[in-house]
Amino acid sequence: MSDDFSDIAESNTDYVAAFPGKDVPGLPAKKMLLLTCMDCRILPHQALGMELGDMKVLRNGGGQLNSAIESDIVVANHILDCDRILIMQHTQCGVAAATLEGVRDAIQSNTGVDASQFTPSVIDNQMEKLTRDVKTLRNNPLLKSNVVVQGAMYDVETGKVDFIDE
Ligand SMILES: [Zn+2]
């Protein structure tokens, strides 16, 4: 193992010593699935009052729906009992602040590689993207008819989750 991970390994040893999850089932007790950003200021379970075993969490840059994430959600809906789906973006999101050009420039300057063909999804307008993603999921015919899809915005300064009405 790389020395870069020695602190992590040490922390895990402590976690194992007091491991609370031995008999926790793999299906989420609260039937929840959360899609949110990879941002380090979001502790999803704490923010939403969830315990170990209560919800599934999908994360990516921006908490954005894309075809891979949408496939996971469909699977989670049918196979993993996830009937409540929350898409939660957040304030001060780096992915929403970034531009495609800025990302490409950073790659170029860090690696020397031409990144002009690299097309990660950055967010132009958070609320527009969030409402669009919620709508897309609600209209996905592969999801069960009783699925509930909700959008929300998390405030990294206060921890408040604002559920959006669209
Ligand atoms: Zn973010």
Distance 39 CA to ligand 1 centre (A): 5
Count Cβ atoms below 10 Å from residue 76 Cβ, excluding itself: 19
The domain spanning residue 116 has which CATH number? 3.40.1050.10
Does residue 59 belong to any structural domain of this protein?
A: yes
* Phi, psi angles (nearest 5°) of residue 6: -65, -35
CA of 17 to the centre of ligand 1 (A): 33
- Residue 13 placed within a domain: no
143: Cα within 13 Å, side-chain hemisphere: 23
> Are 48 and 84 in contact, with CB atoms under 8 Å apart?
no
pLDDT, residue 164, reads 95
Q: Is residue 116 one of the residues assigned to a domain?
A: yes
**How far does the centroid of ligand 1 lie from the alpha carbon of residue 125, in Å?**
13
d(CA 23, ligand 1 centre) in Å:
33
Q: Give residues with Cβ within 8 angstroms of 95, minimum separation 6.
A: 37, 61, 62, 64, 121, 122, 123
- Name the domain count of the chain: 1
Q: Is 7 exposed, middle or buried (0-12, 13-18, 19+ CB in 10 A)?
A: exposed
Q: Find all residues with CB under 8 Å of 142, minimum gap 6, and list them.
A: 74
Residue 22 CA, ligand 1 centroid: distance in Å = 32
Q: Which domain holds residue 122?
A: 29-163
Average pLDDT per block of 10 residues along the chain, 166 residues long: 94 96 96 98 98 98 97 98 98 95 97 96 95 98 98 98 91
pLDDT, residue 1, reads 85
Indicate whether 23 belongs to any domain.
no
* Helix-helix angle 126-138:67-79, to 10 degrees: 40
Which of 50, 62, 76 is closest to 137 using CA atoms? 76
- Considering the domain boundaries, does residue 7 fall inside one? no
Residue 24 maps to a domain: no
- Residue 10 covered by a domain: no
Identify the pLDDT of residue 9: 97
Instruction: Determine, yes or no, domain membership for 5.
Output: no
